[in-house]
Amino acid sequence: MSAPPQRRIHEFLLWWILIDTREQLPFDFSRSTVETRVQTLATGDYSAATEHEDYSDRICIERKSAGDFLSCIGHSRERFVRELERMSKFEFAVVMIEAPLDCIVEGDYWTKVEPASVVGSTIAWMQRYGVHFIFAPNRRYAERLTLKMLERFVRDVHEGKRPQQTERITA
């Protein structure tokens, strides 16, 4: 049985997902037709590239388990804030959490972090750094969202639908 054809955008643009070499539990994209490549990413766990361009300086997705995310609010906060500062320079940056917010806040995970700190920190970080925080219902859904976000970014760049980095909305 031959492998399915590699996923293309507009039937002719090859693209692939970049996975950081330090990612300890990488998503399994084998159910899709998109190829993955492991390489060192300066920021984030996932990015994208085509045969013509590497987007790892434009889009990044940082994966977090529920426990990882709670650590970022607690004892790993300073390191995580430095990561958010780097992510804020990207056109599109996401922290993808593999658990729903209500489960984290309602204490389905053992932690000393107060629920109000989870919500307050998340809102503050989104507003301060312009980074999207997505609480997926589970790991599989987080994986699918990551694939779709990367694909949409590549498609929009290819179709000229991404604003130039220098374009800013002014009041």
What whole-number distance in Å separates Cα of residue 43 and Cα of residue 102? 28
Q: What is the pLDDT of residue 169?
A: 40
Overall number of domains in the chain: 1
Structural element, H or E, at residue 10: none
Range of the domain at 143: 8-158
Structural element, H or E, at residue 51: none
In a domain, 140, yes or no: yes
Helix/strand/coil for 135:
strand
- pLDDT range class, residue 10, cuts 50, 70, 90: low
In a domain, 164, yes or no: no
- Structure-token pair, residue 33: 């037709």
pTM of the shown model: 0.88
Q: What is the pLDDT of residue 5?
A: 54
- pLDDT range class, residue 170, cuts 50, 70, 90: very low
Please write the tens of the pLDDT for every residue from 120-139. 999 999 999 999 999 999 99
Residue type, 28: D
